[in-house]
């Protein structure tokens, strides 16, 4: 079998090759912006959802003790993830600024400030994602223990309620009183 290797760059002029690189970089910029927006949305949304859940629990049953120190790590992780997302957007802006201001006679992809800001942006995006994962794990752990603790305390107060589910989905899914 004779494998033929085609080299597209051999058929393109240097200006066409540079235009392909520029278009590729611009599309990566759009993708990076969408990833940053998504990270901001999921981290901010998780923080708001956690606060709404705590508010609902506090309003539905004032006698339930909420241990805020167990919820605080997940809330802080979500807030840090939102700040990392904003930082990634700022670093992406500076990368784009250096891309625009870079001299056209040298290879743009070897331009040091551009690459520095690009790397900072990538690191901040990864930190935002890790913050969301950490906050989700901490939140799930603390909410699981919160539900178990309240389930155990309600069974001790009224053994007849021991068989009732904590969330009654027929009545809207809110915790029972």
Tokens of 19: 């235009």
Whether residue 12 lies inside any domain: the answer is no
Most confident of 6-15, 38-47, 55-64: 38-47
Mean pLDDT of the chain: 77
Q: Cα dist. 18→105, 106, 107, 108 in Å?
A: 11, 11, 9, 9
Q: What is the pLDDT of residue 20?
A: 82
Task: Provide the domain limits for residue 108.
Answer: 23-158
Whether 26 shows a pLDDT value over 90: the answer reads no
Tokens of 96: 């784009």
* DSSP 8-class letter at 175: B
Whether residue 33 lies inside any domain: the answer is yes
Whether residue 63 lies inside any domain: the answer is yes
CA-closest candidate to residue 39, choices 90, 4, 83, 98: 83
Q: What is the pLDDT of residue 55?
A: 83
Whether residue 125 lies inside any domain: the answer is yes
Whether residue 143 lies inside any domain: the answer is yes
The structure's pTM equals 0.69
Number of domains in the chain: 1
Whether residue 112 lies inside any domain: the answer is yes
Whether 76 shows a pLDDT value over 50: the answer reads yes
């Amino acid at each position: 079998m004779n494998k033929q290797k085609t080299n597209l760059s051999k058929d393109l002029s240097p200006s066409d090759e540079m235009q392909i690189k520029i278009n590729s970089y611009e599309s990566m910029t759009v993708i990076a912006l969408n990833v940053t927006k998504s990270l901001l949305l999921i981290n901010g949304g998780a923080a708001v959802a956690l606060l709404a859940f705590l508010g609902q629990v506090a309003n539905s049953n004032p006698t339930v003790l909420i241990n805020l120190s167990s919820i605080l790590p997940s809330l802080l992780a979500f807030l840090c993830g939102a700040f990392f997302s904003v930082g990634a957007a700022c670093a992406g802006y500076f990368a784009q600024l250096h891309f625009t201001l870079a001299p056209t006679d040298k290879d743009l992809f070897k331009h040091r400030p551009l690459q520095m800001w690009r790397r900072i942006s990538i690191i901040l995006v990864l930190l935002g994602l890790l913050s969301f994962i950490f906050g989700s794990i901490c939140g799930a752990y603390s909410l699981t223990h919160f539900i178990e603790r309240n389930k155990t305390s309600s069974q001790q107060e009224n053994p007849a309620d021991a068989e009732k589910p904590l969330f009654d989905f027929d009545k809207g899914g809110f915790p029972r009183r």
